[in-house]
Amino acid sequence: MSQILTISENTKNAIEVLAIEQKAIKDLINDLEKKQSKDFDCAIDILFSCKGRIVVTGMGKSGHIGSKIAATLASTGSPAFFVHPAELAHGDFGMLTSSDVMLALSFSGETDELKKILFPIKRLGIKLISITGNESSTLAQSSDVSLYVKVEKEACPLNLAPTASTTATLALGDAIAVTLMQRKGFTTEDFAKSHPGGSLGKNLIKVKDVMRSDKEIPVVRESTPFNKVLEEINDKKLGFTTVLNSEDELVGSITDGDIRRAYLKAEGEVSSKTALCLMNRSPKIINENDLAASALKIMEDFRISDLIVLNKSRKPVGIVDLKDLLKKGII
């Protein structure tokens, strides 16, 4: 017999909330497709052309959503910050310039704290974009562009607490941020630069950002005699040396271990050998544009502590050491 699964009242309530919020986003998608495409394009044009910062503001729950939107914009290539509208009216207007763009959030569009700053915004010549649920509101009518988030009802059973409306507003903020990100050609390298202390940014750091310079690379030529190979390994204190051909291309490497093995194999007669005879023709390498995390993976897999870094021409441009990765927090 198949077991009949029963759903608790709590789970039923949760599913209903999610269904209502899902519908709010679906309605927003439909509205963007059929009614607001031009307004959305205009808003993106204004934000893309912004020479200053995108200043996000809103009261209450709209303010909390606005703070997250500002953080998303800032981390995806659009300089932005959140400021409380009441603080704007009490001195924080000094932070703004005519090069900025204001993004104001208010579901009613009649929030007193926002209405009080509309005239100063216009006086400074700041472009105003609003996100509201009331297209006839004071905020909407005062905006250069207004985007509408309309919901049939909130997920709150009393239809009072902002729930579906804030979810849809947050989703629209993400849509704005990601659209700007794509239009600006924001790359993984840019993302890493804006997240220097986070795990996401660390995972995007490239080898060239952590490697030691080419001046620290131990180098010998194919014809270099045994005693000079030893001198180079001892001088650079890395336990190995690269071997280059006449065109400065990497052809091999020689480690302390390679020398010991050659010594045992030749029963001590290695002093007359050149680097070409001693070298390993398949040294572990990595490209300067590869991720530092990839360098760590190679080191872990082969139990080594250094990698030779090459450019596109297979010429050594640096060395990445396990200690370098540790300092950058890659490990």
Phi, psi of 186 (to 5 degrees): -65, 125
Total Cβ atoms within 10 A of residue 215 = 6
Does residue 197 lie in a domain region? no
Question: Which pLDDT belongs to residue 156?
Answer: 92
Considering the domain architecture, whether residues 159 and 266 belong to the same structural domain is answered as: no
Strand partners, 172: none
Question: Which pLDDT belongs to residue 196?
Answer: 57
Considering the domain architecture, whether residues 182 and 59 belong to the same structural domain is answered as: yes
The residue range of the domain holding 16 is 11-186
Query: Which residues of the chain are modeled with pLDDT < 70?
Result: 1-4, 189, 192-203, 267-268, 331
Considering the domain architecture, whether residues 114 and 16 belong to the same structural domain is answered as: yes
Amino acid at site 280: N
- Give the total number of structural domains in the chain: 2
CA-wise closest residue to 225 among 282, 283, 281, 277: 277
Does residue 6 lie in a domain region? no
Does residue 196 lie in a domain region? no
Using one digit for the tens of pLDDT, what is the confidence trace for 12-36?
Answer: 999 999 999 999 999 999 999 999 9
CA angle, 105 then 110 then 112, to 5° = 95
Does residue 40 lie in a domain region? yes
Considering the domain architecture, whether residues 217 and 168 belong to the same structural domain is answered as: no
Does residue 246 lie in a domain region? yes
Question: Which pLDDT belongs to residue 73?
Answer: 95
Does residue 5 lie in a domain region? no
Does residue 27 lie in a domain region? yes
Question: Which pLDDT belongs to residue 32?
Answer: 94
| Residue 264 belongs to domain with CATH number | 3.10.580.10
Considering the domain architecture, whether residues 265 and 160 belong to the same structural domain is answered as: no
Please state, in angstroms and as integers, the Cα–Cα distance from residue 102 to each residue in 60, 70, 278, 317, following that order.
Answer: 17, 11, 67, 46
CA-wise closest residue to 116 among 95, 87, 136, 96: 87
Considering the domain architecture, whether residues 21 and 146 belong to the same structural domain is answered as: yes
The answer to pTM > 0.75 is no
Considering the domain architecture, whether residues 137 and 54 belong to the same structural domain is answered as: yes
Rounded-to-integer distance, Cα 306 and Cα 219, Å: 15
Considering the domain architecture, whether residues 30 and 149 belong to the same structural domain is answered as: yes
Choosing from 130, 156, 186, the residue where a domain stops is 186
| Residue 127 belongs to domain with CATH number | 3.40.50.10490
